[in-house]
Amino acid sequence: MRHLGRVAVIAAPLLLLCISCALAQGNRGITNESVTPTGVAPGDSIWIYFEYTIWNTGPMNAPWEVRLDGTPGARDGVLLVAGSQRYSRTDGTWQTLKARPVAEVPLDTAPGTHTVKMIASADANFAAAVAYAYVDLTVTSDGAPPVADAGPDQTVEQESAAGTEVTLDGSRSVGAETYTWEEDDGPIAEGATPSVTLPLGVHTLTLTVSNSAGSDSDECVITVQDTTPPELTCPADMVVQQQDVNGAVVQFACTATDICDAEVGVVCTPASGSVFPPGATQVACVATDHSGNSATGSFTVTVQDTTPPVLVCPVAIVREQSEAAGAKVEFQCTATDDCDPDPEVVCTPPSGSVFPLGTTEVQVVATDDAGNRATGSFTVTVMDTVAPVVTISSPEAKAYASTDAPIPVQYTFTDACDAEPDVVVTLDGQPAGGSINPGALAKGDHTLTVTATDDSGNVGEASVAFSIEAPELPSFQIEEFLIEWQRGDDRFTVVGRFTLPDGVTADNLAAIAVLHLGVAGQTATDRVVLQRWGLIWSYWGRRGRDDSLGQGMDIDSMQIVFPPRRHGGGWSGAHALCNGGGRHNDEAWFVASGRLTLSGLDVSSRPATGSVSLALPLSTSGASGGLNGSQEVPFRVCKAARLWWYRR
């Protein structure tokens, strides 16, 4: 409400619009209507303003009227002023017209609230397209005291802890120039329609209005009440794990809020922190504010045992096989449960069973009274890790002569789980048979190994080390040793003799000879395969033969001769020598020649000595060893330094 002098004008009047349905004109209604000044009495002038928007088929004077009181929607009441505004459009479009009339309040107007009615039309005779607008006008008697009206009693709902904002209404007071609102002899507001915040309770308010002629008072009762219950918030239905045989201690929170009460008490039965038994229990909660308003709610707490027992299984068990079927194995599996003091534990296979060789998985199930199951497993592995025991009784750990008889290979083995393990016999890493021929082995150390492998792959092994000693050639003598340096075709010649040891004859020799020459710190070696012609062993190098070892020396020719015994002062003759007739001497001669290919040998730095070694095997195996002879000889040099030589 706006205050205009002594007159109160309502800013939001009712609007009734009557628009003709005729097609010759139209009226959109009256807008922006107002009446001034604020203080009027009978005979005073008022200034009126309003706008109306119309259309017509051509230019015309659009009439209007201003009347006091009368029936809404009718051209009745006291006519204050009339006139028209010019509609100037020729195209029949809408045009807004503005009226600013001045009127005088009739002298016989009674004090009080009246209605100023504005009427406008798009028809010259108000026959159609008529619009209405209304503004309330308060008229006072000049020189009369005011009449107070505090408005109707109100009952409002409390909106906050501070109370409720209430709009007081003294607008119906007549002739008031000032408005004062009081409660309990104290002012609380000024103005015709002030807004005040009143706390919870019943309030009796006094309105005092005044003007120059006097004052008047009126009362109204404002009741602020709280009838709204709190808002209770309960948790959703709860499912908790059983803690022990009695159930579970359950904590929860129910809260309540209230627009008027900062602290609302909430009571739940059973209370939070109680021991809830197994199963479902309903919790009932009540929230009550200071005004006694209450809200109720409930939820369900279900205590259940869904936790399986805690199962403890042993770690993987490994046992040694103790019998043919496997091994008997004892073990223990345990389980604990918060709600069942003795869960059932079942193992498959059970403890004390005989487990076969290999790995067996034991399945374990623990079950509590609520039917919760815990499963686990572990493995029992029965292993055969004990290797067979091998014992070698022959050969013995000693030295054997290369001329000895064959040595039998003899051994035994034992195994608790495998009566027939696989056996492999090797001599110096090579497969060996049931006997060893000493004459077929090189001079030096040798090792016989017997390996037994059982069905589980355990390997038992025994070894014996023995040696072969080759007898020396008695009376080994170098007669001549020559090296001739020919710049790329270095030649050597060796001539010597030896005597066979007792018990050895030429028939015992293999048709193989290995020659070693030691020169200036280097060793040259070559091997030849001899052909026997009676008492002569002979080798002649030729294309296509592959006898040479090629280690710094290449033998072109080699002969070993066992001269026959004398008969009556003479030799047995060439026939006996070549065809093996008669007996031969124990003494033999040998001669060898060929090429040296020693790298980096400085011819000018003649060594003081050289060495010659000859090895003759006592079998046809092709291995080196058997009879051995060696000698170191001093070198001489010819003047040209191209011949190193020794001659006994």
Mean pLDDT of 63-68: 97
Domain boundaries, the chain: 2-139, 154-225, 231-304, 310-380, 389-469, 477-647
> Binning pLDDT at 50, 70 and 90, where does residue 524 land?
confident
Mean pLDDT of 225-247: 93
- For the beta carbon of residue 223, count every other beta carbon within 10 angstroms: 14
Q: Is the pLDDT of residue 473 over 90?
A: no
Which residues neighbour 336 within 8 Å (Cβ) at sequence distance 6 or greater? Answer: 309, 310, 312, 343
Q: Is the pLDDT of residue 8 over 70?
A: no
Q: What is the pLDDT of residue 525?
A: 87
* DSSP output for 144-194: PPPB------EEEE--BTTBEEEE---TT-BS-SEEEEEETTEEEEESSS-
Which residues neighbour 442 within 8 Å (Cβ) at sequence distance 6 or greater? Answer: 468, 623, 624, 625
Lowest mean pLDDT among 91-105, 300-314, 386-400, 465-479: 465-479
Q: Is the dihedral of CA 107, 108, 112, 114 positive or negative?
A: negative
In percent, the amount of the chain with pLDDT more than 70 equals 87
Question: Per CATH, the architecture of 310-380 is what?
Answer: Sandwich (2.60)
Separation of alpha carbons 554 and 247, rounded Å: 103
Q: Is the pLDDT of residue 542 over 80?
A: no
> Binning pLDDT at 50, 70 and 90, where does residue 142 land?
low
Question: Which range has highest mean pLDDT (38-47, 297-306, 576-585)?
Answer: 297-306
Tell me 648's DSSP state: -
The CATH code for residues 154-225 is 2.60.40.10
The topology (CATH level 3) of 2-139 is: Immunoglobulin-like (2.60.40)
Residue 282's closest CA among 328, 340, 238, 313?
238
| Choice between 214 and 202, residue whose per-residue pLDDT is larger | 202
Q: Is the pLDDT of residue 13 over 70?
A: no
Express each pLDDT in 312-348 by its tens digit.
999 999 999 888 788 999 999 999 988 888 999 999 9
Separation of alpha carbons 342 and 150, rounded Å: 83
Q: What is the pLDDT of residue 511?
A: 81
HSE-CB of 413 using CA atoms within 13 angstroms: 26
Lowest mean pLDDT among 200-209, 465-474, 576-585: 576-585
Domains 154-225 and 389-469 share a fold: yes
Mean pLDDT of 503-524: 82
Q: What is the pLDDT of residue 213?
A: 80
Mean pLDDT, the chain, as a whole number? Answer: 85
206: left (phi over 0), alpha (psi -120 to 50) or beta: beta
Separation of alpha carbons 242 and 616, rounded Å: 96
Separation of alpha carbons 283 and 273, rounded Å: 12
Which pTM was predicted?
A: 0.39
The topology (CATH level 3) of 389-469 is: Immunoglobulin-like (2.60.40)
Segment holding 424, helix H or strand E: strand 422-427
Question: Per CATH, the architecture of 231-304 is what?
Answer: Sandwich (2.60)
